[in-house]
Amino acid sequence: MSGAAAAADPHRLGRSSGHRHAASEHAAGGLHAKRIITGYGFWIFLLSDIIMFSAFFAAYAVLVGNTADGPSGKDLFDLSNVAIETACLLFSSFTCGIAGIGAQTRRGSWFYGAMAVTFLFGAAFLALEIHEFAGLVARGAGPTRSAFLSAFFTLVGCHGLHVTAGLLWLLTMMAQVYAKGYRADILRRILCFSLFWHALDIIWVALFTVVYLMGAGQ
């Protein structure tokens, strides 16, 4: 460093552009590593959820015939009501995709509008499911009536709890975008939420087929 430069910077705070460049590269590498870890962590979470639901499906398949001389799925399931639930969840998955496009393109009307519609469809799904559960309990077909009903309430109820958590997550995402804008980290969270919501949709299609359609036909 020359004498004039040393006088201008006696404490050598700006020692060299190379140091600053190395520091910026280190920070960028740290952010990239964080994104990778977050992505892997979320996929591990989704896979663990799928494994859990697989175990519940297996338990239901084993216990579906253990009605303890009580009602079976053919006696209890109302396919018209379940079809409406399925339509609500399928449409919510579609509007969730539109919300993701709105977030990526920074279109607030698309994002907020589609997220609001997704919430309404999800809430309607939950309301119908709660109504179904209440009706079964009122008819004496609660989860303690038989092993079949215990497996049914556990499997379907677990999915309903996940939908509830998804709706709370949805509201959180809307609040974060409103408060902080379309930052890169928030866009990643919106993507994770979309994957979670679509996974719930896929699980419900399997549940609708295995539990309701096959159960009503037995």
Per domain, the residue ranges of the chain are 53-60+70-216
In the chain the first and final C-alpha atoms are separated, in Å, by 87
* 45 residue type, one letter: F
Question: pLDDT digit string (tens) for 73-129?
Answer: 888 998 999 999 999 999 999 999 999 999 999 998 999 999 999 999 999 999 999
In order of 16, 84, 117, 174, 199, the CA distances from 127 in angstroms are 63, 11, 15, 22, 20
Rounded distance between C-alpha atoms, residue 88 and residue 120, angstroms: 9
User: Is residue 131 predicted with pLDDT exceeding 70?
Assistant: yes
Provide the CB-side half-sphere exposure for 39 (13 A, CA).
Answer: 9
142: left (phi > 0), else alpha (psi -120 to 50), else beta? beta
Question: pLDDT digit string (tens) for 159-214?
Answer: 999 999 999 999 999 999 999 999 988 999 999 999 999 999 999 999 999 999 98
User: pTM for the full model?
Assistant: 0.81
- Give the Cα-Cα-Cα angle 191, 193, 198 (nearest 5 degrees): 95
Superfamily of domain 53-60+70-216: Cytochrome c oxidase, subunit III, four-helix bundle (1.20.120.80)
- The H-assigned helical ranges of the chain are 3-8, 17-63, 73-76, 79-104, 108-138, 147-180, 184-207, 214-217
Question: pLDDT digit string (tens) for 39-80?
Answer: 678 888 889 999 999 999 999 999 998 988 888 888 899 899
In order of 59, 157, 213, the CA distances from 83 in angstroms are 24, 17, 10
